[in-house]
Chain A
Amino acid sequence: MSLFTKAISLAAAATMAATLMSSASFAEDGTGQQLYPLFTYRTGPYAPSFIPFGAGNIDYLRYINEVEGGVDGVKILVQECETAYTIERGIECYERYKNGYNGALTAAIYPHSSGLDVALTDKARIDKIPIVSPGGGQNIATDGRVFPYQYPLVFDYWSEAQIIVDYIAQQAGGYDKLKGLKIATLYHDSGYGRDTIEPLGILSKKYGFEDIQIPVPHPGEQQQTQWQQIRRAGADWVFLRGWGVMTPVAIKTAARVGFPADRIIGDIWSGSEDDARPAGAAAKGYLAVSVFPPGTDYGILKTLKKDILDKGESDLKDNSKFGTVYYNYGVIEAITFVEALRTGHKKFGNRPLTAAEGQWALENLDIDQKRIAELGAEGLISPLKTSIDNHKGETIAAKIIQWNGQSWDTRTDWIKADASLFADVIKAKAAAYAKEKGIEPRVATN
Chain B
Amino acid sequence: MTTLQESALSKPLRQPAFGVGILAVGAGLIAAFAVPVLADDYWLSSIIIPTVIMGLAGIGLNLLMGYTGLVSIGSAAFMSIGAFSTYNLLLRAPFLPLPIVLILAGLIAAIAGVIFGLPSLRIKGFYLGASTLGAQFFFEWLFTNFSWFSNDSQSLTISAPRLQILDYDLQSATGRYYLVIATTALLIALAFAIVKSRVGREWMAIRDMDVAASVIGIRVARRKLLSFGISSFFLGIAGALWAFGYLGTSDAHAFNLDKSFQILFIVIIGGVATIFGNFLGAAFIVLTPILLDRLSLIIDLSFLGDQGALANLQHIIFGTIIIVLLIKEPDGLSSLIKRGVEALRPRARSSG
Binding site for B on A (CB under 8 A): 1, 3-4, 6-7, 10, 17, 20-21, 24, 26-27, 40, 42-43, 47, 51, 80-82, 84, 87-89, 91-92, 94-96, 98-99, 114-115, 118-123, 126-127, 138-140, 189-192, 194-195, 315, 317, 429, 436-438
* Across the A-B interface, the 9 shortest Cβ-Cβ residue pairs: A7-B340, A191-B156, A95-B46, A92-B46, A122-B248, A42-B308, A42-B311, A191-B155, A4-B343
Q: CB distance A122 to B159 under 8 Å?
A: yes
- Residues of A contacting B314 in the complex (Cβ-Cβ under 8 angstroms): 43, 82
Min C-beta distance of A317 to chain B, whole Å: 7
Chain B 277-295: CB-based contact to A (< 8 A → 1; otherwise 0):
0000000001101110111
Min C-beta distance of A405 to chain B, whole Å: 29
- Residues of A contacting B250 in the complex (Cβ-Cβ under 8 angstroms): 87, 119
- Residues of B contacting A89 in the complex (Cβ-Cβ under 8 angstroms): 289-290
List B241-255 residues whose CB lies under 8 Å from chain A. Answer: 246-251, 253-254
Q: CB distance A96 to B46 under 8 Å?
A: yes
Chain B 31-44: CB-based contact to A (< 8 A → 1; otherwise 0):
00000000001110
Min C-beta distance of A46 to chain B, whole Å: 13
- Bound form: Cα–Cα A3–B341 in Å: 9
List B151-165 residues whose CB lies under 8 Å from chain A. Answer: 151, 153-157, 159-162
Of B154, B248, B341, which is within 8 A of A429 by CB? B154
- Residues of B contacting A436 in the complex (Cβ-Cβ under 8 angstroms): 91, 151, 161
B121 contacts the other chain (Cβ, under 8 Å)? no
Chain B 224-252: CB-based contact to A (< 8 A → 1; otherwise 0):
00000000000000000000001111110
- Bound form: Cα–Cα A42–B312 in Å: 8
B30 contacts the other chain (Cβ, under 8 Å)? no
- Bound form: Cα–Cα A138–B154 in Å: 9
- Residues of B contacting A40 in the complex (Cβ-Cβ under 8 angstroms): 307, 311
Q: CB distance B247 to A91 under 8 Å?
A: yes
Q: From DSSP, what is the main secondary structure of chain A's interface residues?
A: helix
Instruction: Name B150's closest neighbour in chain A (CB-CB).
Output: A191
Instruction: Name A9's closest neighbour in chain B (CB-CB).
Output: B340
- Bound form: Cα–Cα A114–B154 in Å: 13
- Which of A82, A138, A140 has the most B CB atoms < 10 Å from its CB? A82
Known: A7-B340, A126-B172. A20 touches B295 (CB 8 A): yes
Q: CB distance A21 to B249 under 8 Å?
A: no
Min C-beta distance of B238 to chain A, whole Å: 14
Of B172, B247, B315, B337, which is within 8 A of A43 by CB? B315
Known: A88-B50, A436-B161. A20 touches B249 (CB 8 A): no
- Residues of A contacting B306 in the complex (Cβ-Cβ under 8 angstroms): 317
Chain B 146-182: CB-based contact to A (< 8 A → 1; otherwise 0):
0100010111110111100000000110000000000
Binding site for A on B (CB under 8 A): 41-43, 45-47, 50, 91, 144-145, 147, 151, 153-157, 159-162, 171-172, 246-251, 253-254, 286-287, 289-291, 293-295, 297-298, 306-308, 311-312, 314-315, 336-337, 339-344
Q: CB distance B295 to A119 under 8 Å?
A: no
- Bound form: Cα–Cα A24–B42 in Å: 14
Given contacts A3-B336, A10-B340, could you give 4 more A-B pairs where the C-beta distance is less than 8 Å? A17-B291, A114-B155, A315-B307, A317-B306
Instruction: Name B311's closest neighbour in chain A (CB-CB).
Output: A42
Instruction: Name B294's closest neighbour in chain A (CB-CB).
Output: A20
Instruction: Name B43's closest neighbour in chain A (CB-CB).
Output: A21
Of A82, A126, A138, which is within 8 A of B311 by CB? A82
30 contacts between A and B (CB under 8 A): A7-B343, A10-B336, A20-B298, A21-B294, A24-B298, A42-B307, A43-B315, A81-B293, A88-B247, A89-B290, A91-B46, A94-B46, A95-B42, A95-B45, A98-B41, A114-B155, A119-B247, A119-B248, A119-B250, A121-B159, A123-B45, A123-B248, A126-B171, A127-B41, A191-B153, A191-B251, A195-B154, A317-B306, A437-B161, A437-B162
- Which of A51, A194, A438 has the most B CB atoms < 10 Å from its CB? A194
- Residues of A contacting B46 in the complex (Cβ-Cβ under 8 angstroms): 91-92, 94-96
- Residues of B contacting A195 in the complex (Cβ-Cβ under 8 angstroms): 154-155
- Residues of B contacting A194 in the complex (Cβ-Cβ under 8 angstroms): 147, 156
- Which of B155, B250, B251 has the most A CB atoms < 10 Å from its CB? B155
Q: CB distance B162 to A438 under 8 Å?
A: yes
Min C-beta distance of B58 to chain A, whole Å: 15
Min C-beta distance of A306 to chain B, whole Å: 23
Q: CB distance A43 to B298 under 8 Å?
A: no
Q: CB distance A87 to B247 under 8 Å?
A: yes
- Bound form: Cα–Cα A126–B336 in Å: 41
- Residues of B contacting A120 in the complex (Cβ-Cβ under 8 angstroms): 248
Instruction: Name B312's closest neighbour in chain A (CB-CB).
Output: A43
Q: CB distance B249 to A119 under 8 Å?
A: yes
- Residues of A contacting B344 in the complex (Cβ-Cβ under 8 angstroms): 4, 7
Q: CB distance A191 to B336 under 8 Å?
A: no
Q: CB distance A6 to B340 under 8 Å?
A: yes
Q: CB distance A17 to B287 under 8 Å?
A: yes
- Bound form: Cα–Cα A88–B286 in Å: 9
- Bound form: Cα–Cα A80–B311 in Å: 11
Q: CB distance A122 to B249 under 8 Å?
A: yes
- Bound form: Cα–Cα A96–B42 in Å: 6
- Bound form: Cα–Cα A84–B294 in Å: 15
